[in-house]
Structure 1
């Protein structure tokens, strides 16, 4: 689009005419021409992007939190009696250790950026008897198949 603007301007069209032809505001055309006249094509290509909102955690705090999540449990850190981390516990840790208030959804997004994924814990019964479980499952299937009398 920028090349089209300059082609039309160099052909002798006024900025108002170029704006009408391209359905762009005339001040936009004028600002492009002004930038080009001041600094050439480099001035048009250069963009100052916002660096975004500042991070809540410093790099050192971030490393500490990552280490904590990867190598310990909330119970080991003394923050909860839970055996796995979740956003509720991390929110409490951030408030207690770093005096930072973050939303749980913000914490979730931060964890995604760090490469963590959300999983639900699965439980296995250590003392479960496999034969008894299979026998119970067969009996349950038989009960389900038997018609119920009213």
Structure 2
């Protein structure tokens, strides 16, 4: 939102879309679309109605399966780790083996946090879930 308002502000100050594009390091088409949206619908037209993040890779069914694996198996028994507690690395290994998706440790951390995957006492606090 900040960038959209900034682009509009710069436009109203007389900057060209090309110059604004250079300042914000955005494509000139993006800047022009913000300006056009404002001209057609005012400030409300600049509001974002959705997250621009990438769509989730795991389906709801796959998330449910992952939760079942974590709650019903130790990572050692599942062959995902040599330890007894689920770590971010063990969950990443599980996701890759079970569903074919590679996640970074940060990505696993966000996934675990977003979906409250680890709820029981087996989770290790030092791995920053």
Where on the TM-score scale, by shorter chain, does this alignment land: which range? 0.5 to 0.7
Q: Deviations over 1:14-47 (max 9, x none)?
A: xxxxxxxx954137676533336xxxx9x74875
Match of 2:38 in 1: 32
Match of 2:85 in 1: 84
Unpaired runs of 5+ in structure 1? Answer: 1-21, 122-150
Match of 1:105 in 2: 106
Alpha-carbon separation, structure 1, partners of 2:92 and 2:35: 48
Runs of 4+ in 1 over 4 A off after TM superposition: 27-31, 45-48
Alpha-carbon separation, structure 2, partners of 1:114 and 1:31: 35
Match of 1:130 in 2: none
Alpha-carbon separation, structure 1, partners of 2:94 and 2:80: 7
Match of 1:68 in 2: 69
Q: What is the TM-score when the length of structure 2 is the normalising length? A: 0.54
Q: What is the TM-score when the length of structure 1 is the normalising length? A: 0.48
Q: Rg: which structure is higher?
A: 1
> By how many angstroms is 1:48 displaced?
4.4
24 and 109 in structure 1: CA distance in 2 versus 1, 3 angstrom threshold: same
CA RMSD of aligned residues (A): 3.2
Alpha-carbon separation, structure 2, partners of 1:97 and 1:90: 10
Whether the 8 Å contact between 2:37 and 2:46 is mirrored in structure 1 is no
Whether the 8 Å contact between 2:38 and 2:46 is mirrored in structure 1 is no
> By how many angstroms is 1:81 displaced?
3.7
Task: Return the structure number with greater relative CO, CA threshold 8 A, min gap 6.
Answer: 2
Worse overlay, 110-119 or 46-55: 46-55
Match of 1:17 in 2: none
Alpha-carbon separation, structure 1, partners of 2:9 and 2:111: 40
